[in-house]
């Protein structure tokens, strides 16, 4: 929450309740003026001004929060997720060229990060879509490497089992 929001909201709430208190007090005392900080004000104008000002400050604090949300402090999201040594070995045996390894490594890092976030949020649809997308990428890469078509399915399943595990 933006640090100024609670201050503005508290000031608005105080003004609102001062207006209500004056209105309630008016019910007990039939007075035409309100004495506030040693000054006299007309009752209707005072109550209307204070209550409207309080509500305006509360709404302004909500609007400020929407306009300027404080970004939560998280670990650097640009950090690359570490790939386990087993997965590195699997990738090096399947994808021999360095160019393909680099591209797949980036895709795998992105997959692992998004997959773990989706698991933490309990978003089953997102996890399923990520699995389908990654399986398609691996399958396409294996086909581009002229891998035997009868082994592609088992290799994709083996790599996906490694990817679905939580990183150590």
Residue 96 CB coordination number (10 Å): 10
User: Could you tell me the pTM of the whole model?
Assistant: 0.45
Rg of the chain, C-alpha, whole Å: 31
76: buried, middle or exposed (CB in 10 Å: 19+, 13-18, 0-12)? exposed
Whole-number average pLDDT of the chain: 76
Chain position carrying tokens 């409207």: 52
Phi, psi of 140 (to 5 degrees): -65, -45
* pLDDT tens digit sequence for 78-107: 444 455 666 666 666 666 655 556 777 788
More confident residue, 128 or 145: 128
* pLDDT tens digit sequence for 25-77: 776 566 677 676 777 777 777 778 888 888 898 888 888 888 877 664 444 44
What CA–CA distance (Å, rounded) separates 53 from 151? Answer: 72
pLDDT, residue 76, reads: 41
More confident residue, 27 or 151: 151
pLDDT, residue 156, reads: 82
What CA–CA distance (Å, rounded) separates 130 from 112? Answer: 9
What CA–CA distance (Å, rounded) separates 123 from 133? Answer: 16
* Ordered alpha helix ranges (H), the chain: 4-28, 43-67, 85-94, 98-121, 124-144, 149-164
Q: How confident is the model at residue 162 (pLDDT cuts 50, 70, 90)?
A: confident
pLDDT, residue 73, reads: 42
Sorted by where each begins, the domain ranges of the chain are 4-67, 85-164
Give how far Cα 112 sits from Cα of 27, 48, 61, Å: 65, 57, 38
pLDDT, residue 74, reads: 43
Position 10 pLDDT exceeds 70 = yes
């Amino acid at each position: 929450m933006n640090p100024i929001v609670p201050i503005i909201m508290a000031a608005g709430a105080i003004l609102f309740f001062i207006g209500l208190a004056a209105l309630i007090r008016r019910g007990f005392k039939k007075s035409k003026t309100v004495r506030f900080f040693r000054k006299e004000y007309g009752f209707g104008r005072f109550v209307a001004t204070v209550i409207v000002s309080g509500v305006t400050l509360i709404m302004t604090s909500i609007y400020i929060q929407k306009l300027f949300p404080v970004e939560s402090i998280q670990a650097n999201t640009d950090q690359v997720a570490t790939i386990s040594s087993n997965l590195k070995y699997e990738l090096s045996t399947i994808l021999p060229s360095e160019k393909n390894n680099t591209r797949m490594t980036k895709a795998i890092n992105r997959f692992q990060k998004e997959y773990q976030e989706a698991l933490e949020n309990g978003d089953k649809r997102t996890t399923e879509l990520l699995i389908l997308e990654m399986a398609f990428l691996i399958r396409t890469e294996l086909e581009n490497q002229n891998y035997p078509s009868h082994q592609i399915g088992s290799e994709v399943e083996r790599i996906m089992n490694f990817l679905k595990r939580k990183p150590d």
